[in-house]
Chain A
Amino acid sequence: MKTKYLLLAAGLAIAGTALAGDPAPQATATGPTLKVGIDKTTGKLRPLTAEESSALDAKAAQQSGDNISLRANRGALSSRAQRLFSLPANQKQAEATERTINGVTVIKPTADTMSELTVQKNADGSLSFNENGEPIAAKTPEAGNE
């Protein structure tokens, strides 16, 4: 049986953000980070497993306005690309980009409005496609046997 942790049960609340109650997160440079979660059973902090850490990175990237891919591969992108691909994390940040040019009002879309296509190789070698890391209903998920 999978152990459940508050961190995950709360919709992947971001440790650094949720615990500190920070203001709207900003894009940050990639670097070694310490991540912890609260174990639902013990109520104590503990290091994340690799799987939890990865999921947390993905969620953190989304919340910081970076795309998952951009954050994980910041070093591979030119500095210009890093700047131009960064989008507001939320509506409030988007509102800050609003301006009027020659009488026309323009605004940046938030990062979560961008389509992102991902692929997963199945055990039989076939490929399943997803957008924004979410499963596509074309392939029926398996609930298991319990």
Chain B
Amino acid sequence: MNKTLLALATSALLAAGSATAADLQLLNLDNPGVGLNDTTPAAPVGGNPGTTKGAQATFVYEFAMKMWGSVLESKVPVKVYASFAPLTCTSTSGVLGSAGTNWLIRLTDGVRVRYYGSALADSLLGYDIVPDPDDPGDIASRFNGNLGNPGCLDGSGWYFGIDGNTPAGKINFLNVVMHEIGHGLGAQGFINKSTGALYNGYSDAYTKYAYDNELNKSFEDASMTNAMRAAAMRTPGRTVWTGPKVNAAANVILDGNFHESVLRVTAPAPLTGNYGFYGAAFGAPASAANFNGQWVVALDAADGAGPLTTDGCSAITNGAAVTGKIAIIDRGTCGFAVKVKNAQNAGAIGVVIANSSTGTWGSMGGADPTITIPSIIVQYADGANFKTNAPITGGMVDLPATKAGMDSAGRTRLYSPWIVATGSTFSHFDTTLHPDALMEPFDSPTVQAQYNVDLTPALFADIGWKLHQGGATFANCDTGTAASDAYGIVIGSNMAATSELCKDTNALRNNYVSCMYKYRDGLLADGLITQQQALKLNTCIKRQSDQYRR
């Protein structure tokens, strides 16, 4: 029997009887006086007692790691490389941070060999698989300690509080750290986002649950080619998650009655499918009611207004062909509104602008209140195909109402924008999820990671992590509040993390108790726990305080 398979099977049995919160350990890689060691004075804020900038960043970092540690179980410490040294920045933009697994481990479940991030693989096998003293990290992470300083996103900066009360213009450091470490713990697919190729020829624990809902194939299906996977990853709504725990939770969490329209070509056959598009600031919005039919190339004179016969900058010359149809016109030389107005004058019912090879693809600006027909702009390559193969049949199609961020079969959408974004495509939930999720590819002000990490624990469970069941614990005391419930509410984990940090920052028993009572009262006041939960929390506070020397 393959050794890794044997180990994987054995560890699963062992794990069934254990209940060890994961211990995420911060390995500070910063120089003295820099980043996490920055001694610049800072006033305590939002539950963060640190009095230097470095101490505050370290506090949040450790708080995030304790939170994830309470959610997950592993008897192998998870070592996290950490840095808060300055990163690339200008006065208006900057790198916030980055993270990911530091090693990939090749394991088999007896059916298929896959890569696993080392933190997950360690938890599955029950030992440190890469005990390399020169490179011991399981996760590499770093964040920009320069943010908010002169010349680095001036006027903004991190919010180091852990209470979620992020001031306008500031960035919640806890949310960002929770998100990025979430990637390192397993919310990370290693497939090539542009080519669809598997990493070094192998799938991975995350890609296992990716599914193409147009071809109805798993990304691991033997008949799924690299090109098919690549196409799925650059078509919104087409790449979805089949993991049962995420989808069960999403079905409860996400809003219903989500409506979406797509641009669909139905003929000629080689071009059938959905295509990306943006609308215009003028004319009617394109809809299934007003944007359907045959698309033909509109022709005009190559003249001073525009050098091409397809740029639509002059009056359309093939009006008979365009009347009652959707006109295809090239971008360039004159304004979008000019082109659409010329098409409208020729009797077109709508316009498809074919983007230029170099133009930014986005919503079309311009204004002309006399324009009534709808218009859209498509990508350069798609536009070229449409012109070559015209006439095209197609238009807008209204999809059945779904949950916001799920497909009609109840699978959760992964981020698969029309233009591949290497670091974002695939390894995030889609931006159509509502409410916003922690693992969407941007920081949303509605995410409150200190209490709610929504679908992320379910994702971890799907890929193989064992989640802490029941109440979060500290001081060997069960708080009676779930470390993480099925929907990602992590108030119990927040309790355990807060107790640890109240303990670490208060040498005296009374101060620890005061810290925790203040915290408890805040939870009660915000309606986040019941009186009964508060009483159980009291018991654990007492248990922890008993460990202080009187």
**Nearest A residue (CB) for B121:** A104
Bound state CA distance, A46 and B130, in angstroms? Answer: 48
Asked if A101 and B130 make an inter-chain contact with CB atoms under 8 angstroms apart, the answer reads yes
Q: Which of A76, A80, A105, A119 contacts B34 (CB 8 A)?
A: A76
Q: Is A10 an interface residue (CB 8 A)?
A: no
Contacts of B435 in A (CB 8 A): none
Contacts of A114 in B (CB 8 A): 98-100, 140, 423
Contact with A along B26-45 (1 / 0, CB 8 A): 00011100110000000000
Contacts of A102 in B (CB 8 A): 129
Q: How close is B304's CB to chain A, nearest CB, in angstroms?
A: 16
Q: Is B377 an interface residue (CB 8 A)?
A: yes
Q: Is B118 an interface residue (CB 8 A)?
A: yes
CB proximity to A under 8 Å, residues B128-155 = 129-131, 135, 137, 140, 142, 144, 153, 155
**Nearest A residue (CB) for B191:** A113
**Nearest A residue (CB) for B105:** A106
Q: How close is B110's CB to chain A, nearest CB, in angstroms?
A: 15
- Given known A-B contacts A115-B183, A129-B443, A143 and B86 have beta carbons under 8 A apart: no
**Nearest A residue (CB) for B334:** A146
Asked if A68 and B336 make an inter-chain contact with CB atoms under 8 angstroms apart, the answer reads no
Bound state CA distance, A114 and B100, in angstroms? Answer: 5
Contacts of A68 in B (CB 8 A): 88, 95
Asked if B443 and A69 make an inter-chain contact with CB atoms under 8 angstroms apart, the answer reads no
Q: Is B242 an interface residue (CB 8 A)?
A: no
Q: How close is A47's CB to chain B, nearest CB, in angstroms?
A: 21
Most B CB within 10 A of own CB, among A85, A91, A98: A85
**Nearest A residue (CB) for B106:** A105
Bound state CA distance, A112 and B121, in angstroms? Answer: 21
Contacts of A128 in B (CB 8 A): 442
Q: Which of A87, A125, A130 contacts B442 (CB 8 A)?
A: A130
Q: Is B512 an interface residue (CB 8 A)?
A: no
Asked if A145 and B335 make an inter-chain contact with CB atoms under 8 angstroms apart, the answer reads yes
Stretch from B318-326, B363-371, B399-407, B503-511 that touches the partner? B363-371
Bound state CA distance, A125 and B140, in angstroms? Answer: 31
Asked if A134 and B421 make an inter-chain contact with CB atoms under 8 angstroms apart, the answer reads yes
Asked if A109 and B190 make an inter-chain contact with CB atoms under 8 angstroms apart, the answer reads yes
Q: Which of B30, B176, B431 contacts A81 (CB 8 A)?
A: B30
Contacts of B397 in A (CB 8 A): none
Bound state CA distance, A131 and B193, in angstroms? Answer: 14
Contact with B along A101-143 (1 / 0, CB 8 A): 1111111110011111111110001011111111111101111
Asked if B106 and A81 make an inter-chain contact with CB atoms under 8 angstroms apart, the answer reads no
Asked if A72 and B88 make an inter-chain contact with CB atoms under 8 angstroms apart, the answer reads yes
Asked if A120 and B423 make an inter-chain contact with CB atoms under 8 angstroms apart, the answer reads no
Asked if B362 and A69 make an inter-chain contact with CB atoms under 8 angstroms apart, the answer reads no
| Chain A interface residue count, Cβ-Cβ cutoff 8 angstroms | 59
Asked if A129 and B361 make an inter-chain contact with CB atoms under 8 angstroms apart, the answer reads no
**Nearest B residue (CB) for A117:** B96
Asked if A118 and B29 make an inter-chain contact with CB atoms under 8 angstroms apart, the answer reads no
Bound state CA distance, A69 and B365, in angstroms? Answer: 34
Asked if A119 and B88 make an inter-chain contact with CB atoms under 8 angstroms apart, the answer reads no
Contacts of A85 in B (CB 8 A): 29, 81, 83, 140, 142
Q: Is A34 an interface residue (CB 8 A)?
A: no
Asked if A146 and B180 make an inter-chain contact with CB atoms under 8 angstroms apart, the answer reads no
Contacts of B278 in A (CB 8 A): 140-141, 143
- Given known A-B contacts A4-B358, A106-B130, A114-B98, A78 and B31 have beta carbons under 8 A apart: yes
- Given known A-B contacts A113-B188, A115-B100, A136-B431, A143 and B81 have beta carbons under 8 A apart: no
Contact with A along B318-342 (1 / 0, CB 8 A): 0000000000000111111100000
Contacts of B30 in A (CB 8 A): 77-78, 81
Contacts of A137 in B (CB 8 A): 236, 417-418, 431
Q: How close is B519's CB to chain A, nearest CB, in angstroms?
A: 29
Q: Is B464 an interface residue (CB 8 A)?
A: no
Contacts of B361 in A (CB 8 A): 141, 143
Q: Which 10 A-B pairs have the closest CB atoms?
A: A132-B423, A141-B362, A134-B421, A129-B442, A69-B87, A116-B98, A81-B29, A114-B100, A131-B424, A103-B3
Task: Beyond the given A114-B140, A143-B362, A144-B365, please list 12 additional residue pairs across the A-B interface where CB-CB is below 8 A.
Answer: A81-B142, A98-B200, A104-B105, A105-B105, A112-B423, A125-B155, A128-B442, A131-B424, A133-B423, A136-B421, A142-B363, A143-B360
A interface residues with partner B (beta carbon < 8 Å): 2, 4, 9, 67-69, 72-73, 76-78, 80-81, 84-85, 87, 91, 94-95, 98, 101-109, 112-121, 125, 127-138, 140-146
Q: What are 18 A-B interface contacts by the 8 Å CB criterion?
A: A9-B358, A67-B98, A77-B31, A78-B85, A101-B129, A101-B130, A104-B4, A104-B107, A104-B125, A112-B423, A115-B188, A118-B95, A119-B171, A120-B92, A130-B442, A132-B422, A142-B365, A143-B362
